[in-house]
Structure formats: structure tokens, C-alpha cells
Amino acid sequence: MFERLTVTVAQMRELDRAAIRDYQIPALLLMENAGAGAARVIRASLGPSLDGGVLVVAGTGNNGGDGYVVARHLHNAGHEVAIAAAAAPASPEARCNHDIARALGVEILPLDEPARWPRAGVVVDALLGIGISGALRPPMAAAIEAILLLGEAGARVVAMDVPSGLDADTGRPATPTVRATITTTFGACKAGLVAELARPHVGELSVIDISLPRALLAPLAGGAR
């Protein structure tokens, strides 16, 4: 309904906050809709590449949590899935989904040893979300470099919310920044994703309904609906 709306990072944070605080929507439920929606897009768009296996590269934040949800849905759909994960997840929701993926038997490898990552036809970039700004810390930069190499070797790369390294407000890419085949963005499109200089990084853009109340989105959409 609000596919053409774009929001700033500050607006997106307020949307999430209001959904959780004013409408009592559990954050776990928003995360589930995000990851399940991304998994549907991947299955609909990248079927043949899925036969080469899936590698989810997960950060410690909620972006990583979205990645664990994608990993679960693709595993349940019968695909070979592995996860390269940073340290323990930082939020209860991300931890919950990490624990489910582990209980399912999805292999979880260390983020900082890309040489050990398995081959994959599809790489899910769930490293960094809309929260980042400024220079990348070295382990993050190294993981992004590894994702870029997999993409150059032929893997399809699907970014969760924004390609890691991209400034979600301005679209300015950090050095390095993921180059996605598809970016699935959650709840509403971020302004930076449609900026001209973001284009080589974003790929095909898909906005996923995560069940944000329409009463929160409508005032932002104005005439753009």
C-alpha cells in the first residue's frame, strides 16, 4: 500500500518505536515478517541459484536477526543453508532467532574466517542495517570484502534492509559497500536506496510489509500513495 513512500533513518526508527510502544506489536513479530518476506522474494526470484546453497552473513544487531529468520525459512524449504556469524546477537529477538537456527541444525561459522565459508549460489547480506554511520570497523570491512568476492565469483547477493556499508539516508557508499542483486527493505523504502549514487549497490529493490500499522505510514505517505 505504501510502496512508493521513502523515509529517513530517523523516521524509520520512530516507526519501529511507535509500532512497538503504541500498538504493542512485539519486535519479534516485525522481525519474522521481515525475514519471511525476504525468504519469499529470494525463492521467487533466485530459484536456480538456491541450488548452489545459501550463505547468510549475520551481524550482531537486528539486521543479523532478520538474517537468522531468512536462514530458517530457506532451511525449512529444503535448501542447504549455512551462517557466518559475528559474536553473540545483541538483542533478545536476534538471539531467539539465532537459537532457533542452531536448534534446526543450520551450520554457524565464524564471521572472521571467510576462507572457511562454504560455496553458495545465494549470499544473504545481514551484516549492517540502517544504524551505521562513519567508517566501518575492520572486521565488518573484511566481511563486506568477502561478500564482494563471492558476488564477483557469481553468487547472487541479497541485502537485508540496506546493502551493508551504504548510508541509508544519503545513499553514500562506505569503502567497501556490498553490491546486491536484490535489496529487500523492511517496512518502508529508505531514502538512500533510491539515490543515484546508491544504484550500483542496491540492485532490484523490494519493499517488504512487516506489519507496521497503516495509521503510522499514511501520514508520511501524503500524496505519494
> Can you give the binding site for a copy of itself, defined by CB under 8 A?
1, 22-26, 28-29, 32-33, 36, 72-73, 75-78, 96, 99-100, 103-105, 209, 211-215
Smallest gap, in angstroms, from Cβ of residue 207 to a copy of itself?
13
- How many residues make up the chain in this entry? 225
When the beta carbons of 104 and 153 are compared against a copy of itself, the nearer one is 104
When the beta carbons of 73 and 201 are compared against a copy of itself, the nearer one is 73
Smallest gap, in angstroms, from Cβ of residue 92 to a copy of itself?
11
Smallest gap, in angstroms, from Cβ of residue 133 to a copy of itself?
30
CB atoms within 10 A of CB 142: 15
Smallest gap, in angstroms, from Cβ of residue 71 to a copy of itself?
12
